[in-house]
Structure 1
Amino acid sequence: MNNIISSSLVKELRKKTGLGIMDCKNALIESNGNLDGAIEILRKQGFSTANKKMGRTTSEGLVHAYVAPNQRIAAMIEVNCETDFVAKNDSFRNFVKEITVLVAEKNPDDLNCLLSLKLPGDKTVENMLHNLVNTFGENIMIKRFTRFEAAGNGVIHAYIHDDYLTEGKIGVLVETSFNALFNPEIKSFIRTLLMHIAATKPKYLDKKEIPEYVLNKEKAILKTLAENEGLSGNILETFIQGKLKKYLKNSCLLEQDFVMDPDKTVGDMIKALNEKNNGEPFSILRFVRYEKGESLEF
Structure 2
Amino acid sequence: MEITASMVKELREKTGAGMMDCKKALQETSGDMEKAIDVLREKGLSKAAKKADRIAAEGLIGVEVSADYKKAALVEINSETDFVAKNEEFQQLVKDVTNLVLEKAPATLEELFALQLNGQTVQEELTAKISKIGENMNIRRFERLEVENGRLISYVHGAGKIVSIVKLETSSQDAKVEELGKDVAMQVAAMNPKYISEKDVDQEYLNHEREVLKQQAINENNELPEGKRKPEEIVLKMLEGRLKKELKEVCLLDQAFVKEAKKSVGEVVAETAKELGADITVAQIARFEVGEGIEKKQENFAEEVAKQMGN
- Counterpart Cα distance in 2 of 1:105 and 1:183: 27
Structure having the higher Rg:
2
Q: CA deviation at 1:192?
A: 1.8
The question of whether the paired residues in 1 share the 8 Å contact of 2:43 and 2:216 is answered with yes
Task: Quote the offset at 1:269 in angstroms.
Answer: 1.4
- CA–CA separation in structure 1 for the residues paired with 2:122 and 2:251: 36
**1:89 lines up with 2:87 in the alignment:** yes
- Relative to structure 1, is the Cα distance of residues 204 and 51 closer, same or farther in structure 2, using a 3 angstrom cutoff? closer
CA contact (8 A) 2:257 2:263 kept: yes
Whether the 8 Å contact between 2:15 and 2:48 is mirrored in structure 1 is no
Give the match for residue 202 of structure 2: 211
Look up the equivalent residue of 2:241 and give its one-letter code: G
2:137 paired residue among 131, 136, 140: 140
Aligned length in residues: 286
1:183-208 per-residue CA deviation (whole Å, 9 max, x = no partner) reads: 13333222222212211211111001
CA-to-aligned-CA distance 1:89-123 (integer Å, 9 cap, x gap): 01111111111111122222222221222112x22
Matched-pair contact (CA < 8 Å) for 2:14–2:48: no
- Please say which of residues 69-78 and 44-53 is displaced more in the overlay: 44-53
CA deviation after TM superposition for structure 1 residue 271, in Å: 1.8
1: CA distance, partners of 2:73 / 2:271 = 30
Task: Return 5+ residue gaps in structure 2 as ranges.
Answer: 223-229, 295-311
Share of identical aligned residues, percent? 39
Give the direction of change, closer, same or farther, for the CA distance of 1:294–1:22 in structure 2 (3 Å limit): farther
Structure 2 counterpart of 1:221, which letter? Answer: V
Equivalent residues of 2:152, 2:167 under 8 A apart:
yes
Report whether the alignment pairs 1:249 with 2:245: no
Shift of 1:73: 1.4
Q: Which amino acid aligns with 2:163?
A: G
C-alpha contact (below 8 Å) 2:154/2:182 kept by paired residues: no
Normalising by structure 2, we get a TM-score of: 0.80
Give yes or no for the alignment of 1:192 onto 2:188: no
- TM-score of the superposed pair, with normalisation by structure 1: 0.83
**Equivalent residue for 2:165?**
173
CA distance in 2, matches of 1:146, 1:34: 31
User: Quick one: distance in 2 between partners of 1:282 and 1:50?
Assistant: 34
